[in-house]
Amino acid sequence: MLSRIGESLYWMTRNLERVDGTARILDINVVYMLEADEDATEEMQWQPLLNIVGADEIYPIRYPDKRVTVQRVIHLLTQGRDNPGSLYNSLRLARENARVVRDRISNAMWEAINEFWLSADKHLKTTLQPWRAAEFYAFVHREVATFFGIAQSTMMRGEAYGFTVLGSLQERADMTARILDVRYHLLLPDVSMVGSPLDYYQWGALLKSLSGFESYRREYHGGIRPIEVVEFVVLNPDFPRSLTYCLEGMERAVKRIGYVEQGAVPQALEALRGHLTGVTATDILDRGLHEYLDRFLELLADLTTALQSDYFEAHLGDEA
């Protein structure tokens, strides 16, 4: 497969997964805003989102008075043209990449993403109002699910499929780590409180941001305990948004793609595997969750660099 095509397949699904993730954290926050705690300010509720998606730097540039409001955060993260990570821009990029690889994906996949883009673009021509936001995000989830569902049922399980899976799982792992990191520290500034059932709604929101609330309830029966949340979200191999699950999927995807001789990808995957294997939730908390997740994100970024050098950059060496 052409290097350029592999790269576009990878970024197509990575951007689309980002669209979905962004919609989900916004959606959950919109819902919780409806019956907010009396002592929670608007800023306390919405600032974390900026940190999760890495928009905390662009925000003060866009809004010099730095006041954090629902309206602004929703706007910046959903349709901000000047925010490279906004849902709008991620979707535009996903669709542009799809256009590049149009001959490599099924017609049905192309139609799904093209239709999605056309109607989202139309929708976002006007400002999305907070009370209409939930409806829009529900539409986004449906469209993304449609796309991935069609991909599942129409794509050959070869190299192209490998790159699409890799893109989406890597983005998902990235988003999971960020959500856990930011939320956890806001919820639990005091380490001594680890292990006790806490604010049911806030922790529920964290799990819901990962579509894991119901699964968690079935796995653990003792209320919501931070240590169990960490175990579930980092280590559970069956929870489709856990770091461990994502890594396993990425390993399988790279096998489908095939290794490059003396490439950097296997090493990058091993480093991630080493980071997740042989640790318990207690170990992670003892070491410091923030440090642990930070290291994970670094290793994930190393994988991107390795993919770049192994597959996406031209090898002008010998004929394969």
Enumerate binding residues for other proteins (CB under 8 A): 1-6, 96, 99-100, 102-104, 107, 110-111, 114-115, 118, 159, 257-258, 260, 310-312, 314-320
Give min distance, CB of 186 to other proteins, in A: 41
d(C-alpha 227, C-alpha 288), whole Å:
12
Give min distance, CB of 7 to other proteins, in A: 9
Supply 276's token pair. Answer: 């997740």
Q: What backbone phi and psi angles, to 5 degrees, belong to 68? A: -95, 120
- Closer CB to other proteins, residue 130 or residue 263? 263
d(C-alpha 208, C-alpha 228), whole Å:
15
Give min distance, CB of 260 to other proteins, in A: 7
Give min distance, CB of 85 to other proteins, in A: 22
- Closer CB to other proteins, residue 2 or residue 145? 2
| Biggest alpha carbon–alpha carbon distance for the chain | 67
Query: What would the DSSP string read from start to end of 39-73?
Result: T--HHHHHHHHHHHTT-TTHHHHH-TT----HHHH
- Closer CB to other proteins, residue 70 or residue 100? 100
Give min distance, CB of 38 to other proteins, in A: 48
Give min distance, CB of 6 to other proteins, in A: 5
d(C-alpha 320, C-alpha 317), whole Å:
9
Quick one: DSSP state of residue 128?
A: P
Supply 210's token pair. Answer: 């990962």
d(C-alpha 80, C-alpha 73), whole Å:
9
Give min distance, CB of 255 to other proteins, in A: 14
- Closer CB to other proteins, residue 39 or residue 103? 103
Quick one: DSSP state of residue 203?
A: H
Supply 170's token pair. Answer: 């890597």
- Closer CB to other proteins, residue 107 or residue 280? 107
Give min distance, CB of 94 to other proteins, in A: 14
- Closer CB to other proteins, residue 42 or residue 159? 159
Rounded to whole angstroms, what are the CA distances from 157 to 13, 109, 245? 15, 15, 19
Residue 164: what residue type? T
- Closer CB to other proteins, residue 96 or residue 219? 96
Using an 8 Å Cβ cutoff, are 294 and 181 in contact? yes
- Closer CB to other proteins, residue 22 or residue 97? 97
- Closer CB to other proteins, residue 88 or residue 184? 88
Give min distance, CB of 118 to other proteins, in A: 7
Query: What would the DSSP string read from start to end of 231-280?
Result: IIIII-SSSTTSHHHHHHHHHHHHHHH-PPTT-SHHHHHHHHHHHHTT--
d(C-alpha 155, C-alpha 165), whole Å:
11
Using an 8 Å Cβ cutoff, are 77 and 71 in contact? no
